Amino acid sequence: MTFTAVFMKTPQGYIGFVEELPGANTQGETLEETRENLQEAVTLVLEANRELAEESIKGQIAIRENFSLVGA
């Protein structure tokens, strides 16, 4: 699956976000800096979501497996 990054010019530089991943947003002085920051933001959002999910199933019987979207 491929995500869509959106970058917008502002007076201070750029803002960026991923359309499909709420909470994955950032800013930077240059477009390249904003791209790099967005990579980190996506990683942090995914890690935080994983931790929340693990906490919510703690103590329960659960099956965990890798999951990939094919053809999306």
The range of the structural domain enclosing residue 42 comes to 5-56
Residue 1: the pLDDT is: 76
Residue 61: the pLDDT is: 96
> Does the predicted TM-score (pTM) go above 0.85?
no
- Indicate whether 36 belongs to any domain: yes
**How many domains, the chain?**
1
- Indicate whether 21 belongs to any domain: yes
Alpha helices by DSSP H, listed for the chain, are 31-56
* Residue closest to 43 by CA, chosen among 6, 3, 9: 3
- Indicate whether 18 belongs to any domain: yes
Residue 72: the pLDDT is: 60
- Indicate whether 70 belongs to any domain: no
- Indicate whether 63 belongs to any domain: no
- Indicate whether 62 belongs to any domain: no
pLDDT tens, the chain, 72 aa long: 789 999 999 999 999 999 999 999 999 999 999 999 999 999 999 999 999 999 999 999 999 999 888 876
* Residue closest to 32 by CA, chosen among 56, 5, 60, 72: 5
- Indicate whether 26 belongs to any domain: yes
- Indicate whether 68 belongs to any domain: no
